[in-house]
Copies of this chain bind each other. A is one copy, B any other.
Amino acid sequence: MATVHGADLGENVNKDCGSGSRGRWLVLKPTQQGVLHALFQLNPYPGIATRGRLARELDIPESRIQVWFQNQCMRQLRQS
């Protein structure tokens, strides 16, 4: 077995996100993705206030909200 991706990241694959039922590393649940996607269509560039509220509502750190919106912008652009 060739460990192609054998990166020694140790235990950095967080075990629980808070609401995460499956602790893979960091995966948003379909429900959370749905909310994020819906809000993205309304406003691709939410302010800190909106992000904070959303973070509390989805029970995930604001950092991830911000990252998700950034990645979503890139994804939308690369679709074309």
Contacts and interface: CB of A to CB of B under 8 A. Distances in A.
Interface of A: 1-2, 4
A1 B4 contact: yes
Contacts of A4: 1
Contacts of A2: 1-2
A4 B1 CA distance: 8
Closest 3 CB pairs of A and B: A2-B2, A1-B4, A1-B2
A63 to B, nearest CB: 27
Nearest to A21: B79
A67 to B, nearest CB: 23
A78 to B, nearest CB: 10
